[in-house]
Structure 1
Amino acid sequence: MTRPVYPFSAIVGQDELKLALIISAIDPSIGGVLAFGDRGTGKSTTVRALAALLPPVRAVRDCRFNCDPDGSNLCEECREKLREGEKLVARFIRVPVVDLPLGATEDRVVGALDLEKALTRGEKAFETGLLARANRGFLYIDEVNLLEDFLVDLLLDVAASGENVVEREGMSLRHPARFVLIGSGNPEEGELRPQLLDRFGLSVEVRTPQDLASRIEVVRRRDGFERDPHGFAAAWRGENRKLRRKVAIARARVNLIAVPDSILEDSAKLCLALGTDGLRGELTLMRAARALAAYEGAETVTQKHLKSIAPSALRHRLRRDPLDEAGSSVRVDMALEKAFSA
């Protein structure tokens, strides 16, 4: 029997990280989540628990790229089936959550020529990489700040286009590669390149619990899971099911949520006050607030939603001021207090 993953609903604390992951699952266009903080605080556990939580998605049967049978962004193999008059048969799959290890080669990430078929059959066939497996799911990078520069450049290109282009040994292939990028790391081990940092929609700070009750509960639950993983997962299945249903409903109605002009004005004022570069901050803030409103069952985005998600959406977009000793989270909180004090 396959060992279950730690239930998402059983994770103690880490509320900002859990909410950021849920919001990104509701609206993938937000751009993913960066989680920086202390070692041993459950960042990886929380990300992997997300996979078991999310509702399954429809995908083309036998498609290596998890294409959506009702979507327009199809791989060449699925397009060829349609051209030949073949119907795309659908099946339900779990939302992919793919790990990108730090030592991964370019071929493993983007894909390469299938050497076995090339040598035994003389065929030029494509062996899919991690980007193909992550399409319509999540690509998770632990210690993302230690990622090799060539992989950073590759991810930036794919994230911008939503497509992976592979050219190897006279073979050229392109396939959809739209995924939510999740990164975690310890800031003491190095900083993230600004170009990649800006690609993350939300950034959260993960800290070790400082209250006694939370620390005891974390240890108690983790020990319970290690001793009886199946029993522990079964005990939390009902809570996970409720949360899964809530996420599914929010996904279905997120585009119906109204965003008043006053909220757009508040977003712009806040970004101007903080001096964020470009307009990605406003776009992310608006999308994240709308996803939060959908998750909470609201019909319209309000200032409450904006204030709740602003630290996660903006703290990593601030220009550095060597004369200002306040951290980015403090600066966002101060700007929020000033902007919404009236």
Structure 2
Amino acid sequence: MDSVLGLVRHKGNAALFSAVEMSIVSTLAGTPLHLHAEGLRGTGKTTILRAARRVLPRIRRVKGCLYNCDPDAPHCPQHRGLDPEALARIGSEWVTIPFLEISHSAKVGTVVGSIDLGRLVSPTDPAAALLPGTLPQAHRGIVLVDEVNRLAETSPELADILLDAMGTRPGRVQIEETGLPAVEIPLVVSVWAASNPDEDPGPLEEIRRQLSDRFDFVIPTGRPDDAAVVDTILARLEGLTAAPPDEEALEACRARLAERAGALRDVSVPAWLRSEVAGLYTRFGLESLRSVQAMLRGARLSACLAGRSEATWEDLAAVAPLALHHRVDGDTLARALQHLRGVPGARAHGEGGFAGRGPGSVAVAAPATPAGALARPGAPPVGAAAPPGLATPGPGAGDAPPAAPLADRTPAAAGEGRGGQAAAAPGTAPGRGAGRPDVPPLWQRLWSYLRRRGSQAGDGSSAAAVSVDPARHPPAAPPHRARPLWKLPDRLLVSTEDDLRRRR
């Protein structure tokens, strides 16, 4: 999809491209898939999400219906009571999947709907009618919310509306106006969002955790760290290379996505894989059932895009980090991914862990940090591709190395600290996190993540925390997630001299 749109795919944004394809296919098949792209400003999150509208396939709707009613199952107040003969007289038409945006300045009436003043003051046929807002008009389509963390803080009433729209499948929106009965309309809308958790007001999961949990996947998006990739991006921005995509290529991409959406109903999840996901939920005490639902939904979509009729262990491993990233703390995420690698079911069914993936699929399976992505307490960023060292818990373990095809395609982004590329650990054996020379083993990547997290804490970070030689000390995650100051008891905020002496 990236080449068709004239964009550049690199290891910092590859997962976002693949997740967008998943969401388009799922939406076209009638099931929303909500995405949240997180990352530093200027990493292309919103650019990719907005560019995807050019490859959206078409849907069939009742002719002229602002609510995008499906002729086979009309749902809007105007058409849902009509018989097939009446619908046939109205006719149908093919339109592009709706793609609308909700801005921070939006009002409840523009998002949900309000009285149609044009109909109300009509000199020939005045009537009290409703004018659908952004969400009802985006039915069977996509709504984009840029800087969703800011919207959640400054417009809590809009966040409440999104909660209703995303809470169930289908969601719902209720239009209420004085003098008119309340109208509840079902919604099938995929919500795409982007945010920079490093800027005020902070990560969405800390501002409105309910809304954060509504997103099936959170995709950390990083900057490119290869000068050649940056040069290619600059050349395309200046129009020196890559002519604008032609309509024929765009139409071919639309046809491929539409064909995959039609095939999704035939993709199944085997019972053993579903049982393993259920065990993951209970073993690690996951709070939300949406996490495991997102894993299974993502595994089916991953298999569908790869042209398979059954989800595999590889598909689950690809989407699990995206489903867990915003729902668990860093330590739980690391342990869950290690558990996925060591579950007997993977080897018993011939999956062997993280094998190579086909073109266009998501390959994310480790708590690695893409270049430029943010490492923050509570949910470590997930890289755009699975580092080969994930198959290795650490030096001295007896697990088999990952399959060669994955090692050929995986980046070394996980080993990067703030100062650049991390060197491979001395004495690292081939196949033990060293599928490529520039990819350190898992224990060193986790240590690098903890160092970055400590360095972002400010000048008050302990110097000793980053001076220990990682070659001789295994990494250890903090036992608890950091708490904001307003959640601390008063006794910890105000201390007398006697209190301080006792603490010594």
State the TM-score, normalized to the length of structure 2.
0.60
Q: Which residue of 2 aligns with 1:163?
A: 172
**Structure 1 residue 21 displacement after superposition:** 1.2
Contact 2:61 2:71 in 1 (8 A): yes
Gaps of 5+ in 2: 344-352, 354-390, 392-398, 400-504
Higher relative helix content: 1
When structure 1 is superposed on structure 2, of 88-97 and 171-180 the one drifting more is 171-180
Number of the residue aligned with 2:245: 233
**Whole-Å Cα distance in 1 between the matches of residues 115 and 252 of structure 2?**
44
Cα offset for 1:84? 7.6
How big is the alpha-carbon RMSD for the aligned residues of Structure 1 and Structure 2? Answer: 2.6
Matched, 1:275 2:285: yes
**Alignment correspondent of 2:78:** 77
- Matches of 1:300 and 1:159 in 2, distance apart? 27
1:283-302 mapped onto 2 (5 Å cutoff): 283-302=293-312
Change (3 A) 1:59 1:327: farther
CA 1:21 to 1:281, structure 2 compared with 1: closer, same or farther past 3 Å?
A: same
**CA deviation digits over 1:1-48, x for unaligned, max 9?**
xxxxx9536342211011111111222335310101011111112112
Structure 2 CA distance for partners of 1:253 and 1:83, relative to 1, 3 Å: closer
Equivalence map 1:143-162=2 (5 Å): 143-147=147-151, 148-160=155-167, 162=171
How far the C-alpha of 1:243 sits from its partner, in A, is 3.1
Contact 1:76–1:174, Cα closer than 8 Å, also in 2: no
Distance 1:185 1:327 in 2: 23
When structure 1 is superposed on structure 2, of 161-170 and 105-114 the one drifting more is: 161-170
Percent identical pairs in the alignment equals: 29
Q: 2:236 aligns with which of 221, 225, 248?
A: 221
Alignment-derived partner of residue 20 in structure 1:
19
1:134 equivalent in alignment to 2:158: no
CA deviation string 1:248-306 (max 9, x = no partner)? 22111112112111211222233344432132222111111111101110121111111
Task: Between 204-213 and 11-20, report the one with greater CA deviation.
Answer: 11-20
May I ask how many residue pairs the two structures share in their alignment? Answer: 326
The structural deviation recorded for 1:55 is 1.5
Check the 8 A contact 1:293/1:300 in 2, yes or no.
Answer: yes
How far apart are 1:92 and its partner, in Å?
Answer: 0.7
Change in CA separation of 1:9 and 1:299 when aligned onto 2, cut-off 3 Å: farther
- Kept in 1, the 8 Å contact 2:71–2:87? The answer is no
Larger CA Rg, structure 1 vs 2: 2
Deviations 1:163-183 (A, max 9, x none): 322121212333332200111
Runs of 4+ in 1 over 6 A off after TM superposition: none
For 2:270, the aligned partner's letter is: P
2: CA distance, partners of 1:274 / 1:207: 28
Partner of 1:199: 214
- Is contact 1:260-1:300 (8 Å) kept? yes
Give runs of aligned pairs for residues 1-342 of structure 1, distance below 5 A. Answer: 8=5, 10-13=7-10, 14-28=13-27, 29=31, 31-70=33-72, 72-82=73-83, 85-87=86-88, 88-121=90-123, 122-147=126-151, 148-160=155-167, 162-172=171-181, 173-189=183-199, 190-192=202-204, 193-224=208-239, 231-234=243-246, 237-318=247-328, 320=329, 326=330, 330=334, 333-339=337-343, 340=353
Bigger shift: residues 245-254 or 54-63:
245-254
TM-superposition CA deviations, 1:220-267 (whole Å, max 9, x none) = 22222xx899x5122xx5544443333222111112112111211222
- Could you tell which deviates more after superposition, 300-309 or 276-285? 276-285
Distance 1:136 1:74 in 2: 11
Query: Which deviates the most, 54-63 or 160-169?
Result: 160-169
Q: Which runs of 5+ in 1 are unaligned?
A: 1-5, 321-325
3-state SS, counterpart of residue 309 of structure 2: coil
